[in-house]
Structure 1
Amino acid sequence: MKIIIKFTIATEEGLAALLTLTHAIAIEKFSKLLELSFVEKYIHENFSDSNLVEELNSMSNQWLIAYVDNIPAGFVQITSKGVRPSSLDRKRAIRIANFGILKKYFNLGVEEALLEKSLAVCRPYEAVWINEYIQNPFIRLFESKGFVKQSEINQLDELPLNAVYLIA
C-alpha cells in the first residue's frame, strides 16, 4: 500500500477527486448525527462544483488529498478562514479544516500521513487551530500530535453540532 499526499488545484482531476471525497466523507461523518436531508443541504452549500472551484482558487486556502495506491482516500483544507478561538486573536494562526478520511482507509496510516503533511504546511505560523465536533474520532490523533483541547464549547461551522477548539 502506497500513501501519497498531494496539493490539489482546480483542475478537472483535482475537482473530481475533491467532489467525490467531500460528499462521501460528509455523509460518513454526519449521517449518524444529523438528518440526511440536513447533511445533503450542507454538502450542496459547501461542496458544490462552483463552491469548490472558488475555494480551490482562493489564496486563503490550500487543499491536500491523500491517495492510497492512486485512489483518493482523504482530504484536508488548510485555511485562514473561520472563527478563531479568542486566545489566538493576536497570533499569526492557520486552521486545519475539513480533515477527513474515508472509513475504509481508517487505521492504515492515511490519517497520520495527511496530518503530518498538514502540520508541515502550517510550520510558518505561530499557532494552528482545529474546530471539530466533539465526537470526532480524530480528536485523539490531533491530541497525540500536540493539539490541546480547549474548554469552550462552540458550534461546528454551520452545522448544529457541539464542537471544540484544539490548538497547537
Structure 2
Amino acid sequence: MEKKIITKFAIVNNTTLPQLQELGTKLAREQYTGLAPEEQLNDYIATRFQTQQLINAVNSFSNQWLIVYAGDVPAGYARLTSAGKRPAELEGKRALRLADFGVLLEYNRPEVLQSLFEKCLLAGNAGNAIWIHTHNAAPMLPFFLNMGFRLLDGAPPTEELALPATWLIREK
C-alpha cells in the first residue's frame, strides 16, 4: 500500500523540532558532501540545526517552515522567508525566497516533491515571485527548472558554505 503524502506547516514542538534537526542534518550531508570540506560541513550543521538556533528560526515571523511526510515519516522540508539578498530585478517587487527545499534521497519521488512544492506555492501566493539562491551543483536544480523557474547569473556565493551559486526566479 502506498504511503499517504502530506505537507504540513511546522511549528516548534517536541515532535517537529527533532524532525527538522534530523532532516536538516541528513539533507545537508546528502547535498554538500564532496562540495565543502568535512569540517566546514560539520560546523554548518552544528550551527544551523542547533536547538536554540532552530527554535529561533522556526519562530521568526519572516520564516515559514513546511515538512512533507511519507506516511508518518518526515521525508523533507522547505523554508520560505522574506530575508536574504534578492536579485536586483526583484527589487521593489513582492517576492518570497525559497531558502531551503529538500527531500531525502530515499523519498525523492515526484509525488513527494510535488506535495512540498505545491504547499510552498500556496504559502508564497501573496508575492509576485519566488526566488532561490542555491549552489551551482544543487541536486534540485532540474526539478526547479521543470517547475517554471529560470536561471539568473550574477549570484554571490552561498552564505554559509561559500559555494559558487546561482539565482532561480519564478514569477507569476
Shorter-chain TM-score: what band? over 0.9
Give 1:108 deviation, angstroms.
4.7
Query: Which residue is 2:32 aligned to?
Result: 30
Q: Which amino acid aligns with 1:99?
A: F
| Long gaps (5+) in structure 2 | none
Residue aligned with 1:154, SS: coil
Deviating above 4 A after TM superposition, structure 1's stretches of 4 or more consecutive aligned residues are: none
Which of the numbers 94, 104, 118 marks the counterpart of 2:106? 104
Alpha carbons 2:6, 2:70 under 8 Å: kept: yes
Give 1:107 deviation, angstroms.
2.4
TM-score after normalising by structure 2: 0.93
1:155-166 map, 5 Å = 155-166=157-168
**Distance in 2 between residues matched to 1:6 and 1:85, nearest whole Å:** 29
**Distance in 2 between residues matched to 1:102 and 1:137, nearest whole Å:** 11
**Distance in 2 between residues matched to 1:124 and 1:153, nearest whole Å:** 24
Q: Which amino acid aligns with 1:138?
A: M
Q: Which amino acid aligns with 1:148?
A: R
Q: Deviations over 1:126-168 (max 9, x none)?
A: 1110011111121111111111110224211221211100011
Q: Which amino acid aligns with 2:89?
A: S
Query: Which residue is 2:116 aligned to?
Result: 114
Residue aligned with 2:168, SS: strand
Query: Which residue is 2:134 aligned to?
Result: 132
Q: Deviations over 1:84-128 (max 9, x none)?
A: 111111111110111111111112521121111101111110111
**Distance in 1 between residues matched to 2:93 and 2:165, nearest whole Å:** 22
**Distance in 2 between residues matched to 1:9 and 1:103, nearest whole Å:** 24
Residue aligned with 2:156, SS: strand
Query: Which residue is 2:16 aligned to?
Result: 14
Query: Which residue is 2:63 aligned to?
Result: 61
Residue aligned with 1:129, SS: strand
Percent identical: 36
Query: Which residue is 2:84 aligned to?
Result: 82
Query: Which residue is 1:43 aligned to?
Result: 45
| Long gaps (5+) in structure 1 | none
Count of residues in correspondence between the two structures: 168
